[in-house]
């Protein structure tokens, strides 16, 4: 661990922020929109399978970096910092503004700052956990002191609205944290993994070549395969992270899993022997916002007063790749 004046350097979350686009679609709103395209679904069908009641969609002219900007501003305000004090920007997204440059660089310009490293991380729904782990490592190494870590997505752009098994699941939004160097522990342990053999069960298999989209640029998912894999790896990653910190399930005050599906989330809590009262749930109102889901849930819970200073949080995600991981921290 890096030292400063002889003492260990840790990283702590000092501010949280989030942003949801104004257009909120209830299940009934979405069902009506899909019915016009000849696709049948209903509020009951969606709620029973996913726990989702509503989601937000960005307007056509709003990009990933636009959502990230609002979440970042809110996190900076929460931390009591100006954008000019930030010396690292990491943005987790699967729906960037363009092929390149990174949405993090576009965000940096929108924040009116320059010079600090800025880059995207692509780990789909595990993206925020990956980004937080990298930022923590860079702060401990002494290469950053104040980092903006953001998850931002416009998943509505890559949904197949003729496939009712996937298009009802996702929403748009952004969440952000400010992570600062500290002499007291904040992030206690992290754990990251991937297994590329599962590419086919959750992917957007298209790409750009010669100015055309080659393949299919809409989301494809084998829901049952994802569910089966997700519950197992979320439990193992949480346990590995607890072991690294010499802590147990009983030390967790709040479990903030990736908000994919209420059934996956509840199954994970049960495997960790946590009462459902300790499970943070926002999937009902946000849908699955991929890399944005964990920081959105964190910010909502901090601002509502549910999460308090000193609480021990377990953040964990699983996403296409397949990627998965966990971060244990003291808020």
* Domain positions in the chain: 3-182, 187-330
**So what's the pLDDT on residue 6?**
62
Half-sphere exposure of residue 71, counting CA atoms within 13 Å on the CB side? 38
Model's pTM, two decimal places? 0.97
Mean pLDDT for back-to-back runs of 10 residues, the chain (331 residues):
65 98 98 94 96 98 98 98 98 98 99 98 98 98 98 98 96 99 97 98 97 97 95 96 98 98 96 97 98 98 98 98 98 98
Which residue of the set 56, 125, 167, 261 is catalytic?
125
**So what's the pLDDT on residue 308?**
98
Tokens, residue 268: 């994970």
Q: Residue 241 contacts by C-beta under 8 Å, 6 or more apart in sequence?
A: 189, 190, 191, 314, 316, 326, 327, 328
Which residue of the set 64, 258, 261, 286 is catalytic?
258
Q: Give the C-alpha separation, 178 to 79, whole Å.
A: 7
**So what's the pLDDT on residue 8?**
84
Residue with tokens 């702590």: 12
How long a stretch of residues is the chain? 331
Q: Give the C-alpha separation, 205 to 100, whole Å.
A: 18
Active site residue 258: yes
Cβ contact 283:293 at 8 Å:
yes
**So what's the pLDDT on residue 4?**
45
**So what's the pLDDT on residue 90?**
99
Q: Give the C-alpha separation, 39 to 65, whole Å.
A: 31
- How far out from the chain centre does Cα 233 lie? 17
**So what's the pLDDT on residue 1?**
45
Cβ contact 226:263 at 8 Å:
no
Q: Give the C-alpha separation, 13 to 182, whole Å.
A: 10
Write down the CATH superfamily of domain 3-182.
Thiolase/Chalcone synthase (3.40.47.10)
Residue with tokens 């987790």: 92
Domain 187-330 listed as CATH 3.50.50.60: no
Active site residue 288: yes
The single-letter DSSP state of residue 280 is -
Name the residue among 69, 153, 175 with its Cα closest to residue 112: 69
Q: Give the C-alpha separation, 199 to 323, whole Å.
A: 10
The single-letter DSSP state of residue 288 is B
Decide whether 3-182 matches 187-330 in CATH topology.
yes
Q: Give the burial string for 21-54 (b: 16+ CB within 10 Å, else e).
A: beeebebeebbeebeeeebebbbeebeeebbbbb
Active site residue 203: no
């Amino acid at each position: 661990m890096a030292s400063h004046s002889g003492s260990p350097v840790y990283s702590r979350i000092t501010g949280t922020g989030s942003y949801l686009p104004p257009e909120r679609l209830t299940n009934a709103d979405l069902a009506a929109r899909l019915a016009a395209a000849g696709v049948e679904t209903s509020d009951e069908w969606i709620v029973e399978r996913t726990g989702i009641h509503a989601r937000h969609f960005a307007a056509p002219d709003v990009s990933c970096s636009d959502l990230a900007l609002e979440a970042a501003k809110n996190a900076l305000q929460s931390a009591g910092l100006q954008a000019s004090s930030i010396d690292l920007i990491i943005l987790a997204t699967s729906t960037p503004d363009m092929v390149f440059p990174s949405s993090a660089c576009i965000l940096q310009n929108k924040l009116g700052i320059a010079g600090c490293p800025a880059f995207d991380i692509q780990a789909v729904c595990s993206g925020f956990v990956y980004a937080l782990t990298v930022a923590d490592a860079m702060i401990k190494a002494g290469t950053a002191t104040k980092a903006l870590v953001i998850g931002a997505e416009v998943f509505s752009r890559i949904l197949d609205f003729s496939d009712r098994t996937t298009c009802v699941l996702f929403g748009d939004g952004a969440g952000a944290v400010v992570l600062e160097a500290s002499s007291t522990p904040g992030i206690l342990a992290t754990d990251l993994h991937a297994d590329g053999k599962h590419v086919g069960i959750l992917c957007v298999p298209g790409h750009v070549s010669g100015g055309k989209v080659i393949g299919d640029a809409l989301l494809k998912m084998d829901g049952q395969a994802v569910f089966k894999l997700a519950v197992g790896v979320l439990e193992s990653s949480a346990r590995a992270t607890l072991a690294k910190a010499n802590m147990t399930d009983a030390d967790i005050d709040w479990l903030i899993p990736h908000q994919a599906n209420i059934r996956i989330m509840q199954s994970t809590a049960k495997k960790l022997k946590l009462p459902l009262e300790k499970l943070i749930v926002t999937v009902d109102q946000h849908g699955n916002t991929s890399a944005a889901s964990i920081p959105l849930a964190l910010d909502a819970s901090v601002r509502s007063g549910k999460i308090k200073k000193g609480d021990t949080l377990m953040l964990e995600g699983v996403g296409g790749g397949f990627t998965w991981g966990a971060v244990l921290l003291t808020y």
